[in-house]
Structure 1
Amino acid sequence: MSIESGLKKTVLVTGANGLLGQKLIGFLRNDENVELIGTGKGASRLPESWEGSYSWMELDITDRDQVMAVFSVTKPDSVIHTAAMTQVDDCEKDREGCRILNVEAVRYLIEACEKYDTHLIHLSTDFIFDGEDGPYTEEALPNPVNYYGVTKMEAENLLFASKIRWAIVRTVLVYGIAQDMSRSNIILWVKKSLEEGKTIKVVNDQWRTPTLAEDLAEGCILIMKKGATGIFNISGADFLTPYDMAIQSAEYFRLDKNLITMSDSTLFTQPAKRPPRTGFIIDKAKKELGYSPKSFLAGIGILAKQLKLADS
């Protein structure tokens, strides 16, 4: 069923306190064709001014009984599944916790979606690839180089083997700011460091197509509204290194670029290996969904406006 048919649709968002979850709730909460349910572990941390425009249910997606109970009450038409363990080094160090959240929870959601004929929109990642020949199309073969990527690939395989209606949204290096969140991003890190006069080292041997959180949310909503199925690359269009991103950030905020030193990834010791060259070709999403992401520079501008609003 497509939401464009004019029928009201019940949409459930997992991980609604997270960055993408908050953007989804923000966009969908005033859509008169959507009955919106946000879920997460614990209470809602969404803006108080949004109260009344969505329902909230506590949900630990690693608890099968809770998943089935929430579905039995809500019977959602669509689930946008954003909850996951995404800190790559944490996944490497806590493999059991990572597997439970990134694989087993997806198994429970698939079971519930099959029972209630729910369309599942599942978030995945460029880290399912080894980064040897990016940017990638939807047809590229996965070959993860870290445990996070392994679990996200296994979750995709569960969907491939299932009988439900599913869409996989693969994305890259999501950045943005949201309510009550401490996690930084490369733009905020560069801005803060340079404002404090610190010299920073930024790698120039990894390539990504960084994704504004608002763009990713809009891509997920396009899929939900069309009832689309299959794999979609939803990312930014600019193919950049972190060094490129840092320079653009410094230029936008008119900060001293001379404080940014070019480096390479061999000089950094991290528990999880990173794929060198990922990024996505997004022609399919543009053609089939009408997806149109902002440039990275425009994304910096959006974050800058949000920072001003937060400070006012």
Structure 2
Amino acid sequence: MLKILVTGSNGLLGQKITERFLAKRDFVLVATSRGGNRFPVKDGYIYLPMDITDEAEVRQVIGSIKPDVVINTAAMANPDACESDRLGCDLVNIHAVQYLADSCKELDIHLVHLSTDFVFDGENGPYDENAAPGPLSYYGKSKLAGEQALEKSGCKWTIIRTILVYGVTGNLSRSNVVLWVKSSLEKQIPIRVVDDQWRMPTLAEDLAEACILAAMKRAFGLYHVSGNEMMSVLELARMVANFWKLDTSLISPVASASLEQPAKRPARTGFVLDKAVKILSYRPRSFVDGLAIVDGKLNC
């Protein structure tokens, strides 16, 4: 049976991969993250602490486990934090990818790596896999550099770019746009939401399934994986409010420039999903169906 090692297993995507494993158990799972295991179920899989920014630790853990596939979900993903802490950003998004790639090459392991729509400038979305990158932010530049390091490493690789991942699970260290909108409106807190950025939001369960499909198929190359509906972030917020019957009058549209965020965001990204649908058999759910899944998780 295929042995898969997941990095960043305490994050949203990492926890969704663990959930999927516990439901189907069609591979052997080794979950790794920095510090202790935050997933509520501790049995049925192996958990090991691993700091991907420590090259010696990466080599030791991967060398001892010898997985067939590594799925790297770990990243420094806050664009503004990456802008202010460029050395820390480089360490996680570039150097750690190189450490993983070197270990995987040495042991003939396939590496599935997560990247982002922020490698694009947002002028001509939606993008297919042949579109030329042009990142606007340091975060986007670091993720593109990580992709390039992996492509040049000589190991067997898959890169999965994704967009605006949302979902819920226990003990998350950071929120996401759906949970932020829902929580704010439930507390009657007015929120300002950009009306000049368009995305294709991605359900974490769908992204987890795409990662596993890529791992099981050892699918070489670059894949775009996201939801299949383009919407403005403002429209997204209003859909969240309507789904949970919350007050949409608390949502105020604003221009991106008025927020004065340190990192510049692309205006319109979105992906052409044809390659992932054809080769990975990827089947994203609608945004409303995704919200229903989130609602079910919150109420269970």
**Under a length normalisation based on structure 1, what TM-score does the superposition of the two structures give?**
0.93
Q: State the alpha-carbon separation in 2 of the partners of residues 32 and 147 from structure 1.
A: 38
* Structure 1 residues 199 and 52: CA distance shift in structure 2, 3 A: closer
Which of residues 32, 39, 52 is equivalent to 2:32? 39
Aligned twin of 1:13: 6
Task: Tell me how far 1:138 sits from its aligned partner.
Answer: 0.6
Which of residues 242, 261, 265 is equivalent to 1:251? 242
CA deviation vs aligned residue, 1:201-259 (integer Å, no higher than 9, x gap): 21110011110110100010111111111101110011011111011111111122222
Q: State the alpha-carbon separation in 1 of the partners of residues 267 and 188 from structure 2.
A: 29
Shifted more, 33-42 versus 105-114: the winner is: 33-42
Q: State the alpha-carbon separation in 2 of the partners of residues 62 and 183 from structure 1.
A: 20
Contact kept, 8 Å, 1:29 with 1:36, in 2: the verdict is: no
Q: State the alpha-carbon separation in 2 of the partners of residues 189 and 30 from structure 1.
A: 28
* Structure 1 residues 190 and 71: CA distance shift in structure 2, 3 A: closer
Aligned twin of 2:148: 157
* Structure 1 residues 260 and 33: CA distance shift in structure 2, 3 A: closer
Aligned twin of 2:209: 218
Contact kept, 8 Å, 1:30 with 1:53, in 2: the verdict is: no
Between the two proteins, the alignment pairs up a number of residues equal to 300
Which of residues 73, 81, 92 is equivalent to 2:64? 73
Q: State the alpha-carbon separation in 2 of the partners of residues 238 and 115 from structure 1.
A: 40
Structure 1: which amino acid aligns with 2:13?
Answer: L
Runs of 4+ in structure 1 over 6 Å off: none
Task: Tell me how far 1:31 sits from its aligned partner.
Answer: 4.2
- For the pair 1:290 / 2:266, whether they are aligned, the reply is no
Task: Tell me how far 1:33 sits from its aligned partner.
Answer: 3.9
* Structure 1 residues 182 and 39: CA distance shift in structure 2, 3 A: closer
- For the pair 1:279 / 2:275, whether they are aligned, the reply is no
Q: State the alpha-carbon separation in 2 of the partners of residues 307 and 182 from structure 1.
A: 16
Task: Tell me how far 1:129 sits from its aligned partner.
Answer: 0.6
Q: State the alpha-carbon separation in 2 of the partners of residues 214 and 53 from structure 1.
A: 20
Q: State the alpha-carbon separation in 2 of the partners of residues 74 and 220 from structure 1.
A: 20
Which of residues 123, 136, 145 is equivalent to 1:132? 123
Q: State the alpha-carbon separation in 2 of the partners of residues 103 and 115 from structure 1.
A: 19
Task: Tell me how far 1:192 sits from its aligned partner.
Answer: 2.4
CA deviation vs aligned residue, 1:70-102 (integer Å, no higher than 9, x gap): 112101100000011111111000000000111
Q: State the alpha-carbon separation in 1 of the partners of residues 44 and 200 from structure 2.
A: 33
2:115 aligns to what SS in structure 1? strand
Structure 2: which amino acid aligns with 1:18?
Answer: G
Shifted more, 259-268 versus 280-289: the winner is: 259-268
Q: State the alpha-carbon separation in 1 of the partners of residues 233 and 126 from structure 2.
A: 15
Task: Tell me how far 1:61 sits from its aligned partner.
Answer: 0.7
Q: State the alpha-carbon separation in 2 of the partners of residues 303 and 59 from structure 1.
A: 29
Structure 2: which amino acid aligns with 1:245?
Answer: L
Contact kept, 8 Å, 2:4 with 2:67, in 1: the verdict is: yes
Aligned twin of 1:141: 132
1:22 aligns to what SS in structure 2? helix
Q: What value does the CA root-mean-square deviation take over the aligned residues?
A: 1.2
Aligned twin of 2:194: 203
Q: State the alpha-carbon separation in 2 of the partners of residues 242 and 192 from structure 1.
A: 16
Counting only pairs closer than 5 Å after superposition, residues 40-55 of structure 1 correspond to structure 2 as: 40-47=33-40, 50-55=41-46
* Structure 1 residues 34 and 136: CA distance shift in structure 2, 3 A: same
Aligned twin of 1:3: none
Counting only pairs closer than 5 Å after superposition, residues 99-138 of structure 1 correspond to structure 2 as: 99-138=90-129
Which ranges of structure 2 fall in alignment gaps of 5 or more residues? none
Which of residues 15, 25, 28 is equivalent to 2:21? 28
Q: State the alpha-carbon separation in 1 of the partners of residues 267 and 23 from structure 2.
A: 40
- For the pair 1:185 / 2:185, whether they are aligned, the reply is no
Contact kept, 8 Å, 1:79 with 1:118, in 2: the verdict is: yes
Aligned twin of 1:175: 166
Structure 1: which amino acid aligns with 2:56?
Answer: D
